[in-house]
């Protein structure tokens, strides 16, 4: 079953209907457990393929039980053990080939299970009052089919609050309508927008290496860079829309993972809006502890701001590295970390150079924000070359143009993104300003019904016409 296919949506809706047969927490937990196991079974038919995943889950649960029994001294070792087993199972290329298991096994969703297990271990080890999590709750939390493949990374307390509540959260016609609309929106993003952006980028990739006149090559390079972030956003956020809505229909609220990321006016702001649950997780468990530890050890006050820059770099380098096992993702990590660190340095430099107050005024200037938005988009678009390409493909693409020509392309993307995103923000603001007593007209249920119908029709037409499944969810592979 493809992760954002029509079948997946039907499967999730069926699960939601059965789950709502009773409001009892036991019934809803049994349904979620059975549905999650069935979902795993649909993804792989070989029981042996699940053994490594089961081993990983058992390791995590064993460590959790020890920590729950007060063995806090073991926390560091258990975390290290989980990280090493994860790296081994994911076959990171810096480990010797001979060390890996040489049979096909199931790793889908392992990264997200890894985050959830670490969260449980750290949360349990750090608390004075040890939390008690039974095996059933542990498996429900780690294998929940709505968050299994590509997140969002939900905190355990948030999951337990909704899943195990004696009186589950309300699910009336308004909420159902909103979730159906969100599923249609997500499906449209995945099966129409993502499919088109991916196809157009593939066309551009073919064209960039062809013997074409320079203006056509520059245009192809422009499309190669610009279309991938749009594809990735449609692909990933569309899937997240679907699973958030399905979980809500099962009376569980999942955290949001996207907040209009291309509206971000800086790269730091971008990472507050893109894959929010991942960056929040790493900020909580890497950035904060690292910064605190460094500040305890280094007492030179003038260096303090730069410790933040360093911690930003480490955190977002890890964000990048987490995405894949190869050296391309190391570069991707360096570019993410470098981008965030440079952004922080710029903020520090500007605050020092023109004064904190003036910088605050400047940061609110619409033109400054617009250019910042364009720069953020263009930087992210170029860093993604190491996300979607292997070295051979990256070499091929860069060899198609000279350095000066690539600079022209980058400048063009910056300026175009600045203009287009500013126009988009202005249009959105203007439309949302049309209000009635109940709120903006654009978000009223009548308008939502109209555009959900239109998006649904478009998604149906595309699916029928193209006779092919939508591109698979990219983040499923991580």
Could you say whether residue 169 binds another protein (CB under 8 A)?
yes
Could you say whether residue 461 binds another protein (CB under 8 A)?
yes
Write down the least CB distance from residue 138 to another protein, Å.
Answer: 10
Contact 329, 304 (CB under 8 A): no
- Residue from the set 122, 165, 412, 422 that interacts with another protein by CB under 8 A: 165
Nearest alpha-carbon partner for 112 in 146, 135, 88: 146
Helix (H), strand (E) at residue 435:
strand 435-436
Cα separations in angstroms, 247 against 34, 335, 433 = 15, 34, 31
Could you say whether residue 122 binds another protein (CB under 8 A)?
no
E strand intervals along 133-178:
none
Structure tokens, 419: 């203009």
Question: DSSP letters along 368-410, please?
Answer: HHHHHHHHHHHHHHHHTHHHH--HHHHHHHHHTS-HHHHHHHH
Which of the residues 226 through 255 are near another protein (CB under 8 A)?
A: 253
Write down the least CB distance from residue 469 to another protein, Å.
Answer: 10
- Residue from the set 210, 304, 390, 395 that interacts with another protein by CB under 8 A: 210
Tell me, by CB under 8 A, how many residues bind another protein.
51
Question: DSSP letters along 72-120, please?
Answer: GGGHHHHHHHHHHHHHHHTT-TTS-GGGS--S----TTHHHHHHHHHHH
User: Which of these ranges, 14-22, 35-43, 161-169, 290-298, lies near another protein under the rule CB under 8 A?
Assistant: 161-169
Could you say whether residue 172 binds another protein (CB under 8 A)?
yes
Write down the least CB distance from residue 453 to another protein, Å.
Answer: 4
Strands 439-440, 435-436: pairing is antiparallel
- Residue from the set 198, 257, 378, 418 that interacts with another protein by CB under 8 A: 198
- Residue from the set 20, 175, 263, 396 that interacts with another protein by CB under 8 A: 175
**Which CB atom, from 68 or from 347, has the smaller least distance to another protein?**
68
Write down the least CB distance from residue 198 to another protein, Å.
Answer: 8
Query: Residues near 88 by Cβ (< 8 Å), separated by ≥ 6?
Result: 95, 99, 100
Write down the least CB distance from residue 108 to another protein, Å.
Answer: 23
Cα separations in angstroms, 391 against 92, 334, 395 = 17, 16, 6
Q: Given the rule CB under 8 A, which residues bind another protein? A: 25, 131-134, 137, 157, 160-167, 169-175, 177, 195-196, 198-200, 202-203, 206-207, 210-212, 253, 445-446, 449-450, 452-454, 457, 461-462, 464-468
């Amino acid at each position: 079953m493809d992760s954002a296919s029509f079948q997946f949506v039907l499967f999730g809706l069926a699960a939601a209907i059965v789950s709502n047969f009773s409001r009892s927490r036991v019934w809803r937990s049994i349904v979620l457990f059975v549905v999650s196991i069935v979902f795993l079974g649909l993804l792989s038919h070989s029981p042996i393929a699940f053994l490594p995943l089961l081993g990983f889950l058992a390791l995590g649960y064993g460590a959790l039980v020890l920590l729950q029994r007060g063995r806090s001294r073991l926390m560091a070792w258990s975390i290290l053990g989980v990280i090493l087993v994860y790296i081994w199972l994911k076959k990171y290329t810096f480990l010797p080939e001979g060390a890996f298991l040489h049979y096909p096994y199931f790793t889908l969703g392992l990264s997200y299970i890894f985050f959830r297990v670490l969260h449980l271990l750290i949360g349990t080890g750090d608390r004075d009052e040890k939390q008690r999590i039974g095996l059933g709750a542990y498996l429900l939390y780690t294998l929940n089919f709505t968050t299994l493949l590509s997140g969002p990374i939900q905190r355990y307390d948030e999951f337990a609050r909704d899943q195990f509540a004696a009186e589950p959260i309300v699910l009336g016609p308004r909420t159902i309508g909103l979730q159906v609309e969100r599923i249609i929106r997500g499906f449209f993003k995945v099966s129409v927008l993502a499919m088109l952006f991916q196809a157009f980028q593939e066309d551009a990739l073919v064209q960039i290496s062809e013997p074409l006149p320079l203006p056509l090559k520059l245009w192809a390079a422009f499309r190669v860079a610009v279309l991938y972030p749009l594809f990735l956003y449609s692909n990933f956020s569309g899937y997240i829309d679907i699973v958030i809505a399905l979980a809500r229909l099962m009376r569980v609220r999942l955290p949001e993972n996207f907040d209009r990321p291309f509206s971000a006016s800086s790269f730091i702001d971008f990472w507050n809006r893109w894959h929010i649950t991942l960056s929040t997780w790493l900020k909580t468990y890497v950035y904060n502890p690292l910064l605190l530890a460094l500040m305890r050890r280094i007492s030179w006050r003038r260096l303090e701001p730069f410790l933040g820059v360093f911690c930003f770099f480490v955190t977002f380098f890890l964000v990048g590295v987490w995405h894949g096992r190869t050296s391309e993702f190391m570069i991707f990590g360096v570019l993410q970390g470098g981008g965030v660190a440079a952004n922080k340095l710029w903020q520090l430099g500007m605050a020092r150079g023109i004064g904190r107050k003036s910088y605050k005024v400047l940061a609110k200037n619409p033109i400054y924000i617009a250019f910042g938005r364009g720069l953020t988009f263009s930087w992210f678009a170029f860093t993604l070359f190491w996300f979607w390409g292997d070295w051979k493909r990256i070499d091929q693409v860069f060899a198609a143009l000279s350095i000066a020509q690539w600079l022209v392309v980058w400048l063009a993307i910056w300026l175009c993104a600045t203009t287009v995103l500013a126009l988009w923000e202005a249009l959105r603001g203007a439309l949302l300003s049309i209000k009635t007593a109940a709120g903006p007209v654009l978000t009223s249920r009548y308008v939502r019904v109209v555009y959900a119908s239109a998006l649904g029709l478009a998604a149906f037409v595309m699916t029928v016409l193209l006779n092919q499944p939508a591109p698979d969810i990219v983040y499923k592979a991580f």
